[in-house]
Structure 1
Amino acid sequence: MGRGQDGTQEDKTPPQPVSRLQSYLHGGTSSLLSTLPTIAVFPVYKTVFRQQLHTISIIEAVAQLKKEGALKLYRGVTPPLLMRTLNGALLHGLQDTLLRKLYSSSSAKVVPHSALPAVAGLAAGLVEALVFTPFERVQNMLQNGQNDRSLPTLKTVLVRLSSEELALGYYRALLPIMARNSLGCCFYFGLKGPLRALGEVQGLHPTASSFLSGALPSMAISFSLYPLSVLVATMQAGAGGQEAGTVRACWRKLWTSRQRSLALLYRGGSLVILRSCITWGITTAIYDQQQKRASR
């Protein structure tokens, strides 16, 4: 994940091509393994999405899903599984590549070495947003029960989005996604190295240190950026003119619909934060183990 073999990010030697490929491979593998439980608990994620979209309680969200029937319970599960695997490969591999470029460039003389992982993470997050916004758009449309009749299948959703301008179709809500992903990646990659080192100094097992170095930043990031995730969900759930408007206008509408209450805005947030904490903790632990074995 863009650091030296001992986790201190002090290795400034340009890597061999195989080493770079391993970062992408390990990132994808660790993300896939950590996401497999998504299949089992996807109904929970879908319940949270309904809470975000309609500001309803868990009981009301479950009632919605029950009314729609078991056959539609897993509608929308494919995009997140595919996106998570590809996302892990791109994010970890690209951050590692950018970090090594920064170490060997003049930027290393201006920016402190301790800040370079965060800078590389920020850039990787921007690229991530550009690549995966269409995946998130499709996922949110599939999970919105109001689209079941007009857009019953993945194919109909893709056809509908292809007929729209990019700004209203596949790349709806790009700006808030770029802000959320770039800031999230910046803090994740900037904090996990020092946290991992601190855990090992405290005598924790390396695997436990890796898990905590991924889980703790992810928990803080998910909590602080959760309103952006709600904004994205509300902007992307509809089709065509249903969600038209600028980001600022959509935020005002969202804030008003939540009765200007943080409690309502964060409805469903506890499950999202817990999911992110566990998923990224597992991803980080698996990735670190793979990198350690490859360095032997």
Structure 2
Amino acid sequence: MGKLGAMCYSSKREMQQNLADSNGKNDLSEPVIPLHSYMHGGISSLVCTVITFPVYKTVFRQQLHSTLIREAVLQLYEEGLLKLYRGVVPPMLMKTLQGTILFGFQNTFLQQLSPWAESYFPRAMLPAVAGLGTGVVECLFFTPFERVQSILQNSGNDRSLPTLSKIVGRLRSETLANGWYRAFLPTLTRNALGSGLYFGLKDPLARVLCEKDCPPIASSFVSGMVSSIVISLPLYPLSVLVANMQAQVGGDNLGVRASWHQLWQKRQRSLVLLYRGGSLVILRSCISWGITTAIYDQLTKRSG
């Protein structure tokens, strides 16, 4: 009985050990949601928001009123420092959440899509494909924030909609397409293409720079800058269209095609006038995405 009991005990222990080993292997094979990427994305984006907000507001005024840089700067200077940061709360919240979702969801999509990479697209394209999906999620989450921010920054709304609560009340009375999600299609196109290009370019560029003996933090900063230039230039007209559509409340509520035609006429059918403010967009994007990329990569390396 003693030997039989020992044999049974031994067999039981073996089965438990095999089960534990099997569970361990299954755990390793299952994709783990990288929560650190959400946190690091939010932190890195928050750092840039306050620094670049005056530049962003200058660009917005140019996009809205088709003014020169010095005229837009003079407008903001005459309005004073307090009004300069009017509307900063929505972008602070939006950019922090945006960075959280942008980097977090892209990393999550990357892991979820990895098993399908070889069958449907080259593995090298995986970050860009995950970025496209992230852009769609980003648009769904943040178009309402961008809408409120655009209304706040349009000085033509100061009298009729002077406060955030007034704006929220007005948008709630509108349909989703004319209220919170005005300019949804051009925003979706811009965000999806922008995210796809960013995640498709930044890591390969950083690797090339590292091979040239460039320090890691400098490689990340430069790769973010270069990626932002590649994204900003072709997508800038979409940003102008979005800004003009989202800044308006009420009125005719024109569709995308009619709004684009109106904008094109307003800019006298000139690409030069359409791209007015483009130089500051590039400057702002270079600074913000360079800093964001460098901070995110450093936080990721330290946590790894």
TM (normalized to structure 1)? 0.89
Matches within 5 A, 1:89-238: 89-104=100-115, 106-238=116-248
Which residue matches 2:18?
A: none
Q: Which of 272, 275, 284 in structure 2 is aligned with 1:266?
A: 275
Which residue matches 2:292?
A: 283
Which residue matches 1:248?
A: 257
1:43 and 2:59 equivalent? no
Whole-angstrom distance in 1 between the partners of 2:303 and 2:296: 11
Whole-angstrom distance in 2 between the partners of 1:248 and 1:235: 11
> Is the Cα–Cα contact under 8 Å of residues 31 and 112 in structure 2 kept in the other structure?
no
Q: Report SS of the residue matched to 1:168.
A: coil
Structure 1 residues 68 and 293 mapped into 2: Cα distance closer, same or farther (>3 Å)?
A: closer
Q: What is the CA deviation profile of residues 218-241 of structure 1, one whole-angstrom value per residue up to 9, with x for unaligned ones?
A: 111011101000000000111122
Q: Which amino acid aligns with 2:32?
A: Q
Whole-angstrom distance in 1 between the partners of 2:66 and 2:47: 32
Which residue matches 1:257?
A: 266
Structure 1 residues 245 and 114 mapped into 2: Cα distance closer, same or farther (>3 Å)?
A: same
Whole-angstrom distance in 1 between the partners of 2:212 and 2:145: 40
Q: CA deviation at 1:288?
A: 0.8
Structure 1 residues 199 and 179 mapped into 2: Cα distance closer, same or farther (>3 Å)?
A: same
Q: Report SS of the residue matched to 1:99.
A: helix
> Is the Cα–Cα contact under 8 Å of residues 24 and 90 in structure 1 kept in the other structure?
yes
Identity %: 61
> Is the Cα–Cα contact under 8 Å of residues 102 and 108 in structure 1 kept in the other structure?
no
Greater mean alpha carbon deviation, residues 148-157 or residues 62-71:
62-71
Q: Report SS of the residue matched to 2:297.
A: helix
Q: Which of 83, 86, 105 in structure 2 is aligned with 1:75?
A: 86
Q: What is the CA deviation profile of residues 81-124 of structure 1, one whole-angstrom value per residue up to 9, with x for unaligned ones?
A: 111110000010000000101112x3432211000110000010
1:16 and 2:32 equivalent? yes
Which residue matches 1:8?
A: none
- The answer to which structure has the higher helix fraction is 2
Structure 2 spans left out of the alignment, 5+ residues: 1-27
Whole-angstrom distance in 2 between the partners of 1:44 and 1:102: 37
Which residue matches 2:12?
A: none
Whole-angstrom distance in 2 between the partners of 1:153 and 1:16: 43
Q: What is the CA deviation profile of residues 133-167 of structure 1, one whole-angstrom value per residue up to 9, with x for unaligned ones?
A: 00100000000000000000111111111111010
Structure 1 spans left out of the alignment, 5+ residues: 1-11
Q: Which amino acid aligns with 1:249?
A: A
Larger Rg: 2
Which residue matches 2:45?
A: 31
Whole-angstrom distance in 1 between the partners of 2:262 and 2:218: 43
Whole-angstrom distance in 2 between the partners of 1:219 and 1:227: 14
Structure 1 residues 232 and 159 mapped into 2: Cα distance closer, same or farther (>3 Å)?
A: same
Which residue matches 1:4?
A: none
Q: What is the CA deviation profile of residues 236-256 of structure 1, one whole-angstrom value per residue up to 9, with x for unaligned ones?
A: 1111225x1110110011011
TM (normalized to structure 2)? 0.87
Q: CA deviation at 1:278?
A: 1.2
Q: What is the CA deviation profile of residues 28-50 of structure 1, one whole-angstrom value per residue up to 9, with x for unaligned ones?
A: 11111232313xxx333222211
Whole-angstrom distance in 1 between the partners of 2:73 and 2:203: 39
Greater mean alpha carbon deviation, residues 107-116 or residues 262-271:
107-116
Whole-angstrom distance in 1 between the partners of 2:225 and 2:210: 15
Q: Report SS of the residue matched to 1:92.
A: helix
Q: CA deviation at 1:67?
A: 4.8
Q: Which amino acid aligns with 1:223?
A: L
How many residues in Structure 1 have an aligned counterpart in Structure 2?
A: 277
Whole-angstrom distance in 2 between the partners of 1:212 and 1:44: 20
> Is the Cα–Cα contact under 8 Å of residues 129 and 177 in structure 1 kept in the other structure?
yes
> Is the Cα–Cα contact under 8 Å of residues 55 and 284 in structure 2 kept in the other structure?
no
> Is the Cα–Cα contact under 8 Å of residues 176 and 182 in structure 2 kept in the other structure?
yes
RMSD: 1.6
